[in-house]
Amino acid sequence: MDMMFEPIRKYAQFSGRARRKEYWMFVLLIVLIEILFYVLMGILGAGPMMAGDPTAGLNPAAGLVMLAFCVVLLGLFIPSLAVTVRRLHDTNRSGWWVLIALIPFLGGLVLLVFSLLDGTPGDNRFGPDPKGREGLVAA
């Protein structure tokens, strides 16, 4: 559970390395937050409005929940970008690889594969191994 909030503690820290566990626990946290807000919006009736529906209108409480959702997602954007860059550093790749996500479909798939790969054992150019595997590296 502590690993879920580690990227928030390292809010805009783009240097260093992040373990797979740190990265994926943060992804899980974001998914849980999204599910919570989607359930709240569904309960409050903030779904898509149907054309020609005379009763269509946004509940003020639903509008506040949607606004809070946008603020939370904006607040989590920098930590998610930072933990992704640190995850790429753990696989001994530059953080600029995050821009590959701009290529539709293929870019996201490549970034997914990179985030699933195990980190470089021992120190690399981005810092020490977060798993502490210094002694396991062959000389």
Cα–Cα distance, 71 to 33 (Å, whole number): 12
Average confidence (pLDDT) per 10 residues, the chain, 139 residues: 88 93 96 94 70 61 87 96 96 95 94 94 90 63
Burial (CB < 10 A; 0-12, 13-18, 19+), residue 9, is exposed
CA neighbor of 2 nearest in space, from 26, 35, 38, 33: 26
pLDDT at 47: 60
pLDDT at 83: 96
pLDDT at 19: 92
Three-state secondary-structure class, residue 133: coil
CA neighbor of 76 nearest in space, from 129, 2, 17, 4: 4
pLDDT at 139: 47
